[in-house]
Each structure stands twice: as C-alpha cells, then as structure tokens.
Chain A
C-alpha cells in the first residue's frame, strides 16, 4: 500500500523563462511535521500551490494520498496561504460558521480548543485585527479541519515571539500519526524545535530531504546546516 501522502515525480514548473520547480522528486509520509525550507524565491510557495492545484506543473506527476492531484484531491488538504483570503467583512465567528458550513471535516471541538489556546476573540472583525491575530485566526481555521494533509505557507510571517510560540505549540499538538503537516518557511530558528524532517529547496531543486535527527547527528543545528547550504559567504 502506498503510504506517501504527498508524492512528486519529476515535477517542473516554469513561469515564462523562469524555472520555479526544477525536476522535483519528493515523497512524504504521515505522522510528521516537515519543514519545507529555502530562501525567498526558492519555489516553496509554488510547490504548495502545485499541491493545491492552484497552479499546474508543465512536467511530472503530483499525487495526494495516492491520487493524481486535481480539484477533488483538495478535500484531503487544509491549506493556510501566505496572504489574506477571507471576506473582509467577516468576524471570527462568521469565519468559523463559513468553514463549518463549507467543509464537512471541520471539527468544532478542535476549533473551540484552538480559540481558547490562542486567545482569539470570536466577535472581532478579522479585517481590523493585527497581522499576528489574523494569522492566528487562519491557523485556527486551517488546523480545525480533520484532513490527512496540512499545508502551512509561511505561518509565522513576522510575528512577535509570544504569538510564534503559541502557534508552534498548537501546530505540534495537532500533529498525529495519520496526518502530515508541511510548513513552508525560511524562519529556521523559530520552527526548528517542532520539525521532524526537513526538505531544502534551492532554486527550484530539492537539495536535501532528511530527518532533523540526521542533521543533528553530525553535531550541527538545523540553522547552521541551512546556512552552510544557502549562504553565499
């Protein structure tokens, strides 16, 4: 039985003459929090959007839970984009109702727990919230769905340390043997503690796919190793 929740085989995506993903091969299993790491422009968001079928690869195969990626495989994924996407007039309560009505896998108990843990005011208007609180709301909505795959695109952005800590704690709590959490970020130091595996993406290519333990066995921190791979100095 195929246990890969995410599988990419020879995937190439070009925007005009720019190659965003270059012959990417990747197979990711459940039960882990995986960091998709790389500098800006390395193809992280393109990879996540390809998994969501928001954009399409020119070459190669993308599979989600064993099925070729199409709009139907979106039901397996809960996606947190790196930009605002909810209606501007929504309050937190409206957004929860929206998710509850449109996603059958929405778990209200988990949503209540996350609301409490993250200290979110359900009556607040999302558009009038601070950036950090907006991110908390979107994370709460994303993680409140019961799906096999969670894709979090730059979930920590430029948040303050307290909010970062709260968000990382709930991400860790939501990790389960039957789900896969893929976090795209370049904030290595912040996410390091919760990651099980890492995938390094450089100029659209996967240059490393290993466990964090493997890196640490060599006596290096993830951040040190990242700097070795990506630093030009």
Chain B
C-alpha cells in the first residue's frame, strides 16, 4: 500500500510541478514588488496572486475529495484494477493521499497569507511559531483539538463524497455530471448532519471532540459503504 502511495505521490508532484512553479514565482514576485503601483504588469501579478490565494483556499477543502472521485474514472481505475491490492487498501491509501494534498494546499494558502502580511511588515510564520511555542499546555490542547476537528471533517467530507460518487456511478456507469451531483448531495448531507450535531453538542464542554468523533464514525461508515460498492457494483466502461 505504501508503495502505491509513493508512486501516486511521485506522479501527482510531477504532473503539478508547473503549477507549483507558477505559484512559487507569483509569490516571489509579490514579495519583491513595490506596495503600490499602477503598472499593468504589477497589477497582473497581483491579480494572479489573488486568484491563487483564493483557489488554494478552496482546494484546501475540496482537492482531496475531488482527486479521490477522479481516481475512479477510466484510466486510473484500469491501472489500479491490475494491482494485487484489495479495494479497501487502495481506498484507504487514497484517503491518506487526499489528506496529504489538502494539507499541501493548506500550506500553500498559509504561505500566500504570509506573503500578503509581509507587505504590512508582519512575519506570520514567526508570529504563529512564537504563539505556539509560548502558549501554555491548555492552549496547545485547544490547538490540537481544532486541528483534529479539521482533519476529521476533511476525512468525513472526502469519504462521504466518494461514497456518493461511487454509489451513483455504480447505478449509472455512463452517467454525466456525477461529480456535480455528488458535490451537491454531499454538501447537503453534511450540512444536515452538522446542523443537527451543533444543536446537540453546543452546550457540551467537549462539543468539538464529540463532533470530531461523529465525523470519524461517518467517515468509517462511508468508507465501508464505498468498499462494498467497489467490490460488488462498480464498473468502469471505456
């Protein structure tokens, strides 16, 4: 499984190297640009920066889920169908990859924020590190709990969308717009679950932990459901 993850990572990085290069270049240019200018080139770079900034923010939440859904399309599925790995292991590996890539885009977003704040002479990375290192144990616990909450929600979102996509694709193998339908249904279902949960956990001191655990359970249920569909129903045609 780890070898599979390694190769997927290598392939993904190679296929995104131009994109990562452009992001690095734009960040660098913004860093060295003057703060105010009416120059067309400067304005173009700033516009590119804004687009990248918001795109990476969006990708932080959806890239992993989108990548997992895409992996059940034709070509990737064909390669995977030859591997001597069970569908459950492959799907688990895809979840790990999804979290990793969400994390990568999160880092790119934070770096973008750091570039932005540096224009106001604020060193975001240093400030965050100092805050974390100087904070007491209870603050650190809160930070970790927030981190756990984000991770579990991301996993739940990825696994819910994957289940919906694979489930719908199992019944409509040649259907169009399955990903859009999965996104809409996924947001809708997650919204209902979250709203119901918030009402229950709002008054609890450990509300965030309960929410995280429920998200983790949701992710496991969706994972088991997805594996069942892959093993018993899913077909990928040409």
Chain A residues with a Cβ under 8 A of chain B: 15, 45, 52-56, 70-72, 74-75, 79, 81, 83-90, 98, 101-104
Which 9 residue pairs across A and B have the least CB separation, nearest first?
A89-B14, A87-B11, A85-B78, A55-B235, A85-B79, A101-B3, A75-B84, A54-B81, A79-B82
Minimum distance in angstroms from A179 CB to a CB of chain B: 17
Q: Which of B221-238 contact A (CB under 8 A)?
A: 231, 235-238
B191 to chain A, nearest CB (A): 35
State whether B235 touches A98 (Cβ < 8 A). Answer: no
Write out, one digit per residue, whether chain B residues 58-98 have a CB within 8 A of any chain A CB (1) or not (0).
00000000000000000101110111111100000000000
Q: Point out the residues of chain A lying under 8 angstroms from B4, CB to CB.
A: 102
Q: How far is the CB of B92 from chain A (nearest CB, A)?
A: 14
Measured CB to CB, the closest approach of chain B to A101, in angstroms, equals 5
Task: Evaluate contact between B238 and A83: CB separation under 8 angstroms.
Answer: yes
- Using A55-B237, A87-B11 as known contacts, say yes or no to A102 and B75 having CB atoms under 8 A apart: no
- Inter-chain CA distance A71–B15, complex, in Å, is 29
Across the interface, A89 reaches (CB within 8 A) one of B15, B79, B81, namely B15
Across the interface, do A81 and B78 meet the contact criterion of CB distance under 8 Å?
A: yes
When the two chains form their complex, are residues B78 and A54 in contact, meaning their CB atoms are under 8 A apart? yes
With A52-B82, A71-B87 given, can you name 5 additional A-B contacts, CB distance below 8 Å? A54-B78, A54-B235, A74-B82, A79-B82, A102-B85
Q: Please state if A56 and B3 are interface contacts (CB–CB under 8 Å).
A: no
In angstroms, Cα B237 to Cα A136, docked, is 24
Q: Which B residues lie within 8 Å of A85 (CB)?
A: 75, 78-79, 82
Taking CB atoms, residues of chain A closer than 8 Å to B86 are 71-72
Chain A residues positioned under 8 Å from B81 (CB to CB): 52-54, 74
Do A102 and B235 touch across chains, with their CB atoms under 8 A apart? no
B47-66 contacts to A, CB under 8 A, are: none
Contact A98 to B7, CB < 8 A, known contacts A55-B237, A83-B238, A89-B14: yes
User: How far does the Cβ of B185 sit from chain A's closest Cβ, in whole Å?
Assistant: 24
Could you count the A-B residue pairs with CB atoms below 8 Å apart for me: how many are there?
A: 57
C-alpha spacing A122/B93, complex, angstroms: 29
Chain B residues, CB < 8 A from A56:
235
Chain A residue numbers with a CB within 8 Å of B87 are: 71
Pick the residue among B15, B83, B235, B238 that contacts A88 (CB under 8 A): B15
Inter-chain contacts of B82 with A (CB < 8 A): 52, 74, 79, 85
- Residues on B with C-beta less than 8 A from A89 are 11, 14-15
A/B interface sample: 22 pairs, CB < 8 A: A15-B237, A54-B81, A54-B236, A55-B236, A55-B237, A71-B231, A74-B82, A75-B84, A81-B78, A83-B75, A85-B75, A85-B78, A87-B14, A87-B79, A88-B15, A89-B11, A89-B15, A101-B6, A102-B3, A102-B4, A102-B85, A103-B84
B79 with A86: CB separation less than 8 A = yes
User: Could you say which residues of chain B place their CB within 8 Å of the CB of A55?
Assistant: 235-237
A87 to B237, CA, bound (A): 19
Chain A nearest CB, measured from B128 CB (Å): 35
Q: Which residues from chain B contact A75 at a C-beta distance below 8 Å?
A: 84
Contacts of B231 in A (CB 8 A): 70-71
- Smallest distance from the beta carbon of A45 to chain B beta carbons, Å? 8
B1 CB to nearest chain A CB (Å): 10
CA distance A79 to B80 in the complex (A): 12
Query: Nearest chain-A residue to B231 (Cβ)?
Result: A71
In the complex, A45 Cα to B235 Cα: how many Å?
A: 14
Q: Is the CB of B75 within 8 A of A84?
A: yes
Chain B CB within 10 Å, residue with most, of A15, A54, A86: A54
Q: Determine how close the nearest CB of chain B comes to the CB of A96; give it in whole angstroms.
A: 13
Minimum Cβ distance to chain A for residue B18 (Å)? 11
Complex CA–CA separation, A53 to B84 (angstroms) = 13
B7 touches A102 (CB 8 A): yes
